[in-house]
Chain A
Amino acid sequence: MALAQLKMDTTAARLADVEIPQGAAWGNAARADAMARVRQMGLSTKRDEYWKYTDPASLTVADAPAAAVFQSDEAPLFDAVDRVKIVFVDGVFDADASDDLSAEGVEIERLADAMATDIHWAKDIYGVLEKRGQIPVERPLAALNTALATDGVVIRVTGKASKPINFVYLHRDETSDAILHNVVKVEAGASLTLLESGPAAARFSKLLEVDVADGGIFNHVRVQGRDHERRAITHCFARIAAESTFKSFTLTFNGVLTRNECILEIVGDDAVAHVAGACLGDGRDFHHDDTVFVTHDAVNCESRQVFKKVLRNGATGVFQGKILVKEGAQKTDGYQISQSLLLDDDSQFLAKPELEIYADDVACSHGSTSGAIDETALFYLRSRGVPMIEARNLLTLSFIAEALDEIEDTDLADELRDRLEGWLSRHS
């Protein structure tokens, strides 16, 4: 079958029984526009170049595959953090379980309420950053999210947020198919830390649009897992203005299918954009994909991509990362590293690092490696009396350290390190 036909069929099957949620004027227009784009692009298939290493079939079928509800024996994440908790149960906002949607320096509204307001700041971001991010690579699943998102919040950060906001996801229904769309606008000079945690749904499509104005600061720390049967496609589209900072870190445990796309566009001079992640997977059915696209369209900006994958017992990791330096984006400092630690011969890491540069005064570097535990280091630790398994876990933590260092807040980093140690001790 020709690829175009296959895409059309896939799209028709997915959209057969779908209705676009209806609200007020601008929301409907944004959704209709996105749906038109989905139909025009066609949904992704395994034969698309951008999906060469990850099969999107379970993300595009009409009925979400079921996933058992995961019962964690650990305390919920970020419990010790003074935060605004926003809870979504199977992708639906739960007001009772959430904190008051207020904190100094931020305005939080539910997406539907924002869409019901004729004139709203979110109108200039919802689906807009997503649409910008469709060039040069099409991301039909992101457009589908914009069209069909059933819930979400919009957050305007007007000053230094007095506490972090935490999206807490809860998965209760084995067949839930959640589509969430969140929007964050960081005004000039404002700052926010956004946390995300918890298994969200059997199938989860989540899109985050972040607009950081001049001198704004956005820090993002996300933990996915330890639910294993879920399928998740997440997108983060960020527009980063002059002298602002965007930093995102994702830690992923388990998952038969996770694809995290991060599309960053640096549009103002002297800005900093970091995106990092670590994932740990055990078993032949583990599949994790980090797909990153960073565009430099301003002078004297820095971007960093740091991705680490720990793969065992036949697990698969994917990294597709690109740095695009546009004409005139001089003095760009772009760095990209993607590495995997293969704990056995069966696991595999597929990497496609790319640089595309149209400016002549830039420093860009990228590297990708996959390897086993360093035998010399292992022997060194054992010769000091550290037992084999403990030594291997220490070296695994050592491998992940560079990514974990990307987390600004050391308390958060420590909490994540504890979870990492917990995972390693359960999987050794």
Chain B
Amino acid sequence: MLEIKGLKVKLEEEDKQILKGVDLTIEPGTVHAIMGPNGSGKSTLSYVLSGKDGYEVTDGSAALEGEDLLDMEPEERAAAGLFLAFQYPVEIPGVGNMTFLRTAVNAQRKARGQEELSAGDFLKEVREKAKSLKIDAEMLKRPVNVGFSGGEKKRNEILQMAMLEPKMCILDETDSGLDVDAMKLVSEGVNALRSEGRSFLVITHYQRLLDHIKPDVVHIMADGRIIKSGGPELALEVENNGYADILAEVA
């Protein structure tokens, strides 16, 4: 699904290398988690993959189902099936959540040469999917993320994911700012989307989220590289002992 090879990235503005050669292969239908201390490059990886400005790829490649991602505009990556759930979803006053969702869904359909969804079909689908995420009609009417609580914003991200039906989902610290109940709700939303043709990359600091979204593979990232990969037990090890042991082990 996603294949990253020797990816090296620096900040455009300053001469600071953030990613120093990341290799990562994610098979279809699998859930991978990346954990790592602050500043290890986890969020940068998610931004570079989704096409945010301000980063320069100095070496390596990233491909989604064989298509070179790094050459595409952010909207082209989205249409190709990539989705990033933001750590800090952006507030957009004056644009209704529903309008935003419909614009996004139809833009992607158009880019893929599919017909746009009719207003009726769209509404039906949104209502259904919103219901399972406990997003009420009021929240759908409000401007995008404006006045939403932390939990509501993250649920809204998952709703977008559910509507856009991407192939490759990156969740950037989706657990940050969530209480136990909200985390459960969000995780259920994600788990409902797990399927053979869809892969996930879950970026998190804590093992807690991985109790709910069970990963197939766990990677530890430090100083711009993936330094260790393993099964779910690796996340437990981090939870119990912190990163120090692992960092010492590979040093």
Contact = CB atoms under 8 A, between A and B. Distances in A.
A387 interface: yes
Contacts of A170: none
A36 B108 CA distance: 66
B75 A388 contact: yes
A74 interface: no
Contact of A382 (B75, B86, B95, B105): B75
B73 A398 contact: no
B57 interface: no
A400 B164 CA distance: 28
Q: B83, B86, B95, B108 — which one has the most chain A CB atoms within 10 A of its CB?
A: B95
Contact of A398 (B84, B92, B103, B111): B92
B164 A382 contact: no
Interface string A373-394: 0111101111111111011001
A395 interface: yes
Q: B75, B84, B89 — which one has the most chain A CB atoms within 10 A of its CB?
A: B75
A397 B93 CA distance: 9
A81 interface: no
Nearest to A405: B94
Interface stretch (B11-19, B46-54, B129-137): B46-54
A358 to B, nearest CB: 34
A219 B59 CA distance: 61
A78 interface: no
Contacts, number: 81
B211 to A, nearest CB: 28
A385 B78 contact: yes
A399 interface: yes
A398 B143 CA distance: 9
A187 interface: no
A337 to B, nearest CB: 13
B107 interface: yes
Q: B50, B73, B84, B92 — which one has the most chain A CB atoms within 10 A of its CB?
A: B92
Contacts of B105: 385
B74 interface: yes
B248 interface: no
A401 interface: yes
Nearest to B160: A384
Interface string B107-120: 11001000000000
A376 B51 contact: no
Nearest to A404: B94
Given A388-B73, A400-B94, A382 B89 contact: no
A385 B108 contact: yes
Interface residues of A, number: 26
Contacts of A374: 90
A383 B50 contact: yes
A382 B94 contact: no
Interface residues of B, number: 29
Given A387-B107, A394-B103, A382 B74 contact: yes
B79 interface: yes
Contacts of B107: 384-387, 390
B197 to A, nearest CB: 18
A386 B104 contact: yes
A402 interface: yes
Interface string B68-89: 0000011101110001101001
Contacts of A380: 86, 89-90, 92
A399 B160 contact: no
Interface in A306-327: none
A398 B95 contact: yes
Contacts of A388: 73, 75
Nearest to B99: A394
Given A398-B92, A399-B94, A382 B78 contact: yes
B122 to A, nearest CB: 15
A162 B108 CA distance: 46
Contacts of A377: 90, 92
Nearest to B94: A401
Contacts of A386: 75, 103-104, 107
Contacts of B164: 384-385
A382 B90 contact: no
Contacts of A382: 51, 73-75, 78
B53 A397 contact: no
Interface string A343-387: 000000000000000000000000000000011110111111111
A384 B165 CA distance: 11
A386 B92 CA distance: 14
A400 B93 CA distance: 10
A383 B51 contact: yes
Contacts of B83: 383
Given A382-B51, A388-B73, A398-B95, 8 more contacts: A379-B53, A383-B75, A383-B78, A384-B160, A387-B111, A394-B100, A399-B94, A401-B95
6 contacts: A380-B89, A383-B84, A384-B100, A394-B103, A398-B94, A399-B94
